[in-house]
């Protein structure tokens, strides 16, 4: 019997949620076969099997949150030839000169660094053991687990060996989660993806076609358990709001020239605004610092790791562009697009989700003029950029229509006083009014 403990799927996370099981108790599974869809604060991922054998017990129900390191699945691997590791051979046992791979062994992860194989003791007629893949380690033919770089780049088990009835139920984890939330049976959806893969578009087109007609009045209210990213966001925002003395200041800015520059060139409006923030941060370096209440210390950073707030279907994430002060407007444009795309694809690394030290939120894309954002824990400043609107404005001694937006700065009053916050915001506004400054490195 083998007990599979829930691994750390996100480099420092303490828990994950079981979105859905791909297996049931009594099922026979193969090495690397997907066992479950697991949601962390970062993404929904497939959890591959580290063993070959029979599932004897599932320790968690769908929707249940499991602590990292807690028992998740019990395996019966006796007689299955799928134990991931064997005891080291005794000194008087014969040693095979070369480990002989099993012809039935499934594909395994290939680490980025060389792993030396430990020869396994085998009897002349004995069938060599299969190789199993553990999260963060590799076992080679009966040797002890050798620590390798953490990787999820494992080859899936052969699709031709999967039961035929499961092929119609294939989808990426985020799509499976969406189907579960909407109560849609994936086997009732016509797939359009490669090799029979059900896509998000397939679910959308399936829509209400499979929905049962209403037979009773809708309930007055419903409750939905908050999990994954939204649970993480709720905890982080509560902590920030309750422990950090927030203050805010506003500035209406004439961005006519910046908007014209963005429309005529390759740099986006948001990238030009970010350049303004980075230039202002040079004069006011404490805007990227972090206050440690437990030690009453102010931590200052050598680089500006600019966080970009991105709205995704799973919720709001902040993707960091590290050392952004070294980038020009064109490089920032490319970096912002890259982070936004990968955030929506759940493809950001944990470092990219946690390394920012100042954040900008472009709330104007939602058509609102502004707001007072809550600080990310550990940060001292977050800026909100509102929608650009035509407004009467004094320009060159005349009242004319100009493109104007509101920029808001929320700040940690333990780190910045009003003069510093106002000075920082005024410098941001000055660059937005004269965008030629934003083009300089």
Count other C-beta atoms under 10 Å from residue 357's C-beta: 24
Q: How far apart are CA 133 and CA 136, in angstroms?
A: 8
Strand partners, 250: 408
Residue 413 a catalytic site member? yes
Tokens at 23, concatenated: 């297996």
CB burial readout 226-253, b (16+ within 10 A) else e: ebbbebbbeebbeebeeebeeebbebbb
Identified catalytic residue from 59, 246, 251, 413: 413
Q: How far apart are CA 363 and CA 270, in angstroms?
A: 11
In contact, 373 and 385? CB cutoff 8 Å: no
- Rg of the chain (C-alpha set): 27
Calculate the alpha carbon distances from 41 to 10, 251, 309, 314 in Å. 8, 34, 15, 10
Calculate the alpha carbon distances from 322 to 239, 266, 274, 302, 335 in Å. 24, 21, 13, 11, 10
Tokens at 222, concatenated: 């419903």
Residues marked active site are found at 413
């Amino acid at each position: 019997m083998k007990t599979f403990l829930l691994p750390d799927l996100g480099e420092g996370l303490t828990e994950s949620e079981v979105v859905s099981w791909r297996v049931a108790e009594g099922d026979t599974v193969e090495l690397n076969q997907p066992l479950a869809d697991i949601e962390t604060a970062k993404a929904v991922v497939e959890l591959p099997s580290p063993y070959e054998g029979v599932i004897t017990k599932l320790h968690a129900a769908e929707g249940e949150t499991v602590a990292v390191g807690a028992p998740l699945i019990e395996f019966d691997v006796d007689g299955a030839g799928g134990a991931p590791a064997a005891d080291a051979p005794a000194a008087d046992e014969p040693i095979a000169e070369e480990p002989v791979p099993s012809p039935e062994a499934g594909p395994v992860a290939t680490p980025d660094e060389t792993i030396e194989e430990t020869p396994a003791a085998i009897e002349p007629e004995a069938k060599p053991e299969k190789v199993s893949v553990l999260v963060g380690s590799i076992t080679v033919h009966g040797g002890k687990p050798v620590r390798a770089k953490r990787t999820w780049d494992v080859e899936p088990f052969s699709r031709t060996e999967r039961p035929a009835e499961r092929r119609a139920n294939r989808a990426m984890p985020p799509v499976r989660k969406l189907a579960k939330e909407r109560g849609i049976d994936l086997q009732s959806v016509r797939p359009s993806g490669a090799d029979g893969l059900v896509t998000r578009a397939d679910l959308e087109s399936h829509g209400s076609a499979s929905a049962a007609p209403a037979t009773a009045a809708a309930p007055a209210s419903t409750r939905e358990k908050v999990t994954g990213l939204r649970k993480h966001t709720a905890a982080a925002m509560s902590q920030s709001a309750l422990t950090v003395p927030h203050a805010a200041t506003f500035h209406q800015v004439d961005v006519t020239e910046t908007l014209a520059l963005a429309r005529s060139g390759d740099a986006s409006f948001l990238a030009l605004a970010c350049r303004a923030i980075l230039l202002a941060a040079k004069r006011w370096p404490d805007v990227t610092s972090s206050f440690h209440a437990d030690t009453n210390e102010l931590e200052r950073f050598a680089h500006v790791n600019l966080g970009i707030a991105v709205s995704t279907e799973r919720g709001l994430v902040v993707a960091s562009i590290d050392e952004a002060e070294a980038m020009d407007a064109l490089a920032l444009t490319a970096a912002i697009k890259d982070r936004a795309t990968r955030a929506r694809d759940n493809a950001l690394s944990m470092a990219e989700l946690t390394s920012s030290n100042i954040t900008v939120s472009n709330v104007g894309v939602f058509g609102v003029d502004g707001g007072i954002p809550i600080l990310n824990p550990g940060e001292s400043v977050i800026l909100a950029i509102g929608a650009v609107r035509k407004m009467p404005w004094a320009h060159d001694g005349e009242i004319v229509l100009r493109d104007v937006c509101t920029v808001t700065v929320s700040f940690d009053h333990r780190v910045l006083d009003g003069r510093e916050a106002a000075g920082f915001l005024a410098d941001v506004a000055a660059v937005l009014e004269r965008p030629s400054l934003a083009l300089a490195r």
